[in-house]
Structure formats: C-alpha cells, structure tokens
Amino acid sequence: MNIKKVGIFLVISSFLLISNGASAAEDNSRYFVKTNSTFWKKSFNARHVFSGGFTADLTDFQLKLTKVFNIEIEPVRRLSILEPKGKSALRPVPTESVPWGVKAIYDDKNLLKSSGGAEATVAVLDTGIVKHPDLKNRIKDCKDFSSPARALVEGKCDDKNGHGTHVAGIIASDGGDDGKGIFGVAPETSLYAYKVCSNTGTCWADDVAAAIRTAADSGANIINLSLGSDAQSLLISDAVAYAVEKGVLVVAAAGNDGPYQGSIDFPAQDANVIAVGAIDSLFIVPDWSSRGANETTVSYVVEEKDIEFAAPGVNVESTWKDGGYVTLSGTSMSAPHVSGLAAKLWQKDSLTPSLSTRELLQKFASDILPLGDDDMSGFGLPQL
Ligand SMILES: [Ca+2]
Ligand SMILES: [Ca+2]
Ligand SMILES: [Ca+2]
C-alpha cells in the first residue's frame, strides 16, 4: 500500500464504522468480494463466506473503495421462484384428499391415502412454509436465509408468498390431525423449511448456496429447488457439488420457458441436479415446460442441460399460506412430486443412498411421448 492509499485508508476506516449499518439490500447491490481479508469482511459486513471470498451488500461508497483498493468483485446473481402458470381461488377444504398428481406417481387412480417417506428428510428451499394443519407435524427445522439484515435467522420460515407452502404440501402433506386435509406423495417424511426467497419470490444466489450447504451439513437427504434463472451461478454449482459429494439428492424444476430446445433453467441444467419438466393429467407436456438438450446428447445418460423426468405440473392442488388450498401450474409443482417419490423410495441401506435412489427413479420412469429419452420429459414419469 503506498502513502496516498494509506491516507485514504485512514479516512475511510473511520467512515466505514458509520456507514456499515446503512448497507441495505437494494437492487443489484450484492457482490461477491474476492478477498479473504478479515478487515474487508468486517468493513463490508460480510454476509456469507465462501472459498475465495465473501458476499456483501455494498453501498456506492463501498463500491468505490473496492476500486481504490483493487479488490475484485462480481455481482451475485438472483434467481426466482418459477412463476406459476395460473392460480385458482383459495378453498377452505381440498377438492380431493389425494390430488391427481399423487395418484399418477402411485400409478393408482383409486388411491385413497398416500404413505411413506419416514426414512428421509427433504429440505425445501423456497419462500418458507406456513404451519398449515397438513404440514405442521412434518416441519422439523425452520430457518430464514433471506432476511436483508441477517444472513441466517433460526426458527423463522413463515411463508407470506404461498409458493413454498404449496411445494411442501406436494411432497409431504399428511392430511392433518383429523385426516380431512390433503395428502402429498410422502406424508411421513420430515421437512426442513429453509426460506431462501423473499416474499415476492426473488432469491439471492449466495443465500441459496448457503442454504444448500447448511442442508447438507444438517443431514438432509433430498433438496427441492423449485426456483431458477437463465444464467449459471458458480456459488450454487459449487454448493450443489458439495451437497452431492455428501450424498444428497438435489431436485430442481426445469423452468417454465418452453417450448424452445435448451430453455431449461439453472440449476436444473446442472448434470448433478435432477431436472423435472411438467405433464398434465393426460400425460402431455405443456408448451411452457422448459425443454432440455436431450436429443443432442447421449440417450438415457444424464448430461448437462438434459431434462431427467417429467411429473405432474398442471392444475396441481396443494396447501396454501392461509391454511386452505389452491391449484397451481408450473414446473415448480413437478419437482416436488419427484422429491416426494425419492423420499418414499429412499435407499437408506445402500452404500450410496442418493445414487441408488436416483437409479431407482430412472428405472421406474414410464415413457412419456415422444418415444424414448426426449427434450421434454427425459426418462419419463417415475411411478411406483
Ligand atoms: Ca440436470
Ligand atoms: Ca443425455
Ligand atoms: Ca419419451
């Protein structure tokens, strides 16, 4: 550091102490700061520390400092919950106790009650989960990674959006204490409710990455990501690789950007992540379900940008934030059908439970037209 820089440094050091608390999470204000310096972590009020640096919400003044001191930064990407394609009115009681999608997964049109999932824990990284009567006994942990003020708030995961509650209900709703509610795919499974998206449905990549790592470190077996974006985030790719290495199965919605080839969202396009597209009750893939690159890659081998499965994603009824039920469409609804089935089939006695479970899902997949491994539905619909 030269004399001039030391001078500036001394002036700003005192100023930083004043300006520190004012760094609010405004649009595009979050950066990955590529230094491990304790001084800068403190000065910039580091949010999450990763290898090679930390993230922080930077004010204009702090941004100028990074230039003065030649500290490399890059903007942190934002993802979002996948915008539902249509939503019904709120109902106080469900239309059906076992929705069509759960029946399709069980391959049983007359199913009266679902079961299973007790061997697995599913982390739902979303807008939170409310203590809906059909979910309150399933939620075993609750954390908020989305607060602008604090990187992690324990015991808080309230869902003012509704999306996370809907996704969680598809996986694990258990009919409630009176059994008159709705049933998800795996009603005995445990849920970690990790709020990573704001109430409007936007999710910072560093918060998602931190939650993926926390889920893996806390014993989650499956992570459901009904969120995405068009561009890759290395923070998330690294976190997914870390979780997969620890034996976690990561499932993500393919996206609602179809019907164009390769319209699959990130992180679903990651080969480590199970990408799930949508089908309707006639087992037809809707136009809006994102497409993979399967037809240009090796058939029945999951590579980057491949769709792996298709699952119910049109007119799916599930739990909602106000304690009732709504019907939504989107690949956000498809991914949790596969996460729920993975929980139900969880191969806990295998040496590699997540790999064995993924292989079983592939083995159990029924082809969806067109024939074979295709851009829309990959291996097909996994069914019992
Ligand atoms: Ca994938
Ligand atoms: Ca392939
Ligand atoms: Ca097919």
Residue pair 384/106 in contact (Cβ under 8 Å)? The answer is yes
Region for 98 from its dihedrals, namely left if φ exceeds 0, alpha if ψ lies in -120 to 50, beta otherwise: beta
Cα distance between residue 90 and residue 9, in whole Å:
57
Residues noted as catalytic: 126, 163, 332
Pull the structure tokens for residue 199. Answer: 């109430």
pLDDT bucket at 19, cuts 50 / 70 / 90: very low
Residue 54 clears pLDDT 70, i.e. is over it: yes
Positive or negative torsion for Cα 294, 295, 298, 299: positive
Per-residue pLDDT of 199-226, as tens digits, reads 999 999 999 999 999 999 999 999 999 9
What are the angstrom distances between the C-alpha of 328 and each of 95, 131, 149? Answer: 13, 20, 32
In CATH, which of 3.30.2350.10, 3.40.50.2300, 3.30.70.1140, 3.40.50.200 is domain 79-382? 3.40.50.200
Mean pLDDT of the chain: 93
Q: What is the DSSP letter of 83?
A: -
- Ligand closest in space to the Cα of 303: 2
Alpha helices in the chain (DSSP H): 3-19, 38-43, 60-68, 100-106, 163-172, 205-217, 234-245, 331-345, 353-363
Distance between Cα 207 and ligand 3 center (Å)? 35
The mean per-residue pLDDT over the stretch 251-273 comes to 97
Per-residue pLDDT of 80-131, as tens digits, reads 998 778 888 999 999 999 999 999 999 999 999 999 999 999 999 999 999 9
Residues, Cβ < 5 Å to ion ligand 1:
273, 275
- Ligand closest in space to the Cα of 365: 3
Residue 1 clears pLDDT 60, i.e. is over it: no
Residue 362 clears pLDDT 80, i.e. is over it: yes
pLDDT bucket at 23, cuts 50 / 70 / 90: very low
Q: Give me the percent of the chain exceeding a pLDDT of 70.
A: 93
- Ligand closest in space to the Cα of 375: 3
Residue 24 clears pLDDT 90, i.e. is over it: no
Determine how β-strand 78-81 pairs with β-strand 153-154. Answer: unpaired
Residue 2 clears pLDDT 60, i.e. is over it: no
Residue 17 clears pLDDT 80, i.e. is over it: no
Distance between Cα 81 and ligand 3 center (Å)? 27
Distance between Cα 163 and ligand 2 center (Å)? 30
Per-residue pLDDT of 139-198, as tens digits, reads 999 999 999 999 999 999 999 999 999 999 999 999 999 999 999 999 999 999 999 999
CATH 3.40.50.200 residue ranges for the chain? 79-382
Please give the model's pTM, rounded to 2 decimal places: 0.93
pLDDT bucket at 5, cuts 50 / 70 / 90: low
The mean per-residue pLDDT over the stretch 346-361 comes to 98
Distance between Cα 186 and ligand 1 center (Å)? 23
Residue 21 clears pLDDT 50, i.e. is over it: no
Distance between Cα 266 and ligand 1 center (Å)? 9
